[in-house]
Amino acid sequence: MKGWVKVFAVLFFPVCFYFQDASVNSEEVELRRQAFQKVWQTVNDKHYDETFGGVDWKRIREIYESKAMQAKSRSEFHKILNEMLGELKISHIGILEEEDVSQIVSRSKTGIIGIEVKMINAEAVIFRVEKGSTAEKAGLKVGFSIKEIDGKSVDEILSKIEGYVLSIRASDKLKRLYQERFLQLWLEGEPGTKVVLEVVNEMDQRRTYEIERYKANYELSEQLGNLPPFPVVFEARRVAEKVGYIRFNAWTVPQIQKLRAAIKEFSDTIGLILDLRGNPGGIAGMASGLAGLLVKERISLGTMKGRTVQLNLIAYPQEETYSGKVVILVDHGTGSTSEVFAVGLQENGRAKIIGEETMGAALPSYIEVLPTKAFFQYPIMDYRSPKGIFVEGRGLVPDVKVFQTRKSLLEGKDLPLEMALQEILK
């Protein structure tokens, strides 16, 4: 499916809607009334900032309640709730419909061609080609610029989410991430079907490729309460004899065992590169867990403050800790728990951060189920780095800013990764 719904479902602060008819009988009206009340009241009572960032939350209710209750469908109702929540202009808040959650799960079995796309200078550039994938076999290479997918131009495809991105007041970094995820979804489909790509290759020639999709077979994390299962991607290898490299797509529970095993495997190395580019977050406690494998003394990764409680996020050194250099790669798609982890180690002097400024979406949150069956995510605390920096809306500034270019990718260079290697080997 190429509906743009899915793109938001794969993010950790998903806000999406689709069209679904629901007869507005009295039972439905009551469910919506309860759902509206739940959403508005929860924010009113629990939002970490009692000033709501200057937004008059009571006035917001007056504006949106009647509008929401007049919605013609349940999806439209949820869309209006999202608009209301969007007034707060923060991350980790929104409504995700039941169907979108099932799409996250079904995505693990979707058909893919084995490439990862990044928006680089407004171009859709192939950033990664999986070994043995149909894309590799067809001849697609890192650095190729995608111009059309199944006869539709990339610009035309991206125009479909333009309105939505505007409606949620997404930052440029977030917009870029949405664009990448959306294009990724356009590449997916039923296993066995084909996708036609028109690309510009390394010779600046337009070429057409017809590539068969194969079953993704992603591992799924287990459902964690109201947090749906999530496809798990994990990669650990040596990028030099004495340098380990670990990449994972989200902070989900199955990753921690893999992280422990990989770090143990790399115990003889002089440096470790943790690639958190495109990692939008996950279970926050995992940041402490991974940090605990990298530090010899207890450190704070920052503080979280709700209306009445302040929590210090501590990493406890574990029995076998890694003692080599640590470099963390970040970009605009690095969000939430990834930001907490990176800034925590950065400010404690344990890691050097290389790459682009991060998403700036770092708020611990809960997910509840509404009477209308949708999932409601809301932040319960703010987050400040060990030095007191409010990361939400700002992002993390790397120690070394390195921007990926298409030219370097075509030359087979991943600039931030190369910089990380230099940093470790110097």
Cβ proximity to another protein, 80 vs 283, nearer residue: 283
- Helix, strand and coil content of the chain, in percent to the nearest 5, comes to 35, 25, 40
Tokens 């870029």 correspond to what residue? 176
163 is an interface residue for another protein by CB under 8 A: no
Nearest CA among 422, 290, 412, 404 for reference residue 352: 422
Q: Give min distance, CB of 381 to another protein, in A.
A: 5
Residue ranges with strand state E in 213-275: 214-215, 219-220, 231-232, 234-240, 243-248, 271-275
386 is an interface residue for another protein by CB under 8 A: no
State which amino acid sits at residue 372: T
Partners of 238 in the β-ladder: 244
Tell me how far apart the alpha carbons of residues 426 and 417 are, in angstroms, rounded to a whole number.
Answer: 14
Cβ proximity to another protein, 253 vs 415, nearer residue: 253
Q: Give min distance, CB of 67 to another protein, in A.
A: 26
The pattern of x and - marking residues 237 through 276 that bind another protein according to CB under 8 A reads ----------------x--x--------------------
Distance between first and last Cα of the chain: 48
225 is an interface residue for another protein by CB under 8 A: yes
Pairing of strands 325-330, 271-275: parallel
Q: Restricting to residues 287-316, name those near another protein by CB under 8 A.
A: 288-289, 292, 298, 304, 306-316
State which amino acid sits at residue 245: Y
The pattern of x and - marking residues 337 through 376 that bind another protein according to CB under 8 A reads ---------------------------xxxxxx-------
Tell me how far apart the alpha carbons of residues 143 and 128 are, in angstroms, rounded to a whole number.
Answer: 9
Q: Give min distance, CB of 283 to another protein, in A.
A: 7
Q: Give min distance, CB of 355 to another protein, in A.
A: 25
Q: Is 58 helix (H, G, I), strand (E, B) or coil?
A: helix
The pattern of x and - marking residues 33 through 72 that bind another protein according to CB under 8 A reads ------------xx--------------------------
- Please state, as a whole number, how many other Cβ atoms lie within 10 Å of the Cβ of residue 208: 10
Tell me how far apart the alpha carbons of residues 144 and 136 are, in angstroms, rounded to a whole number.
Answer: 12
223 is an interface residue for another protein by CB under 8 A: yes
Q: Restricting to residues 90-149, name those near another protein by CB under 8 A.
A: none
Binding site for another protein (CB under 8 A): 45-46, 221-227, 253, 256, 283-286, 288-289, 292, 298, 304, 306-316, 318-319, 364-369, 380-381
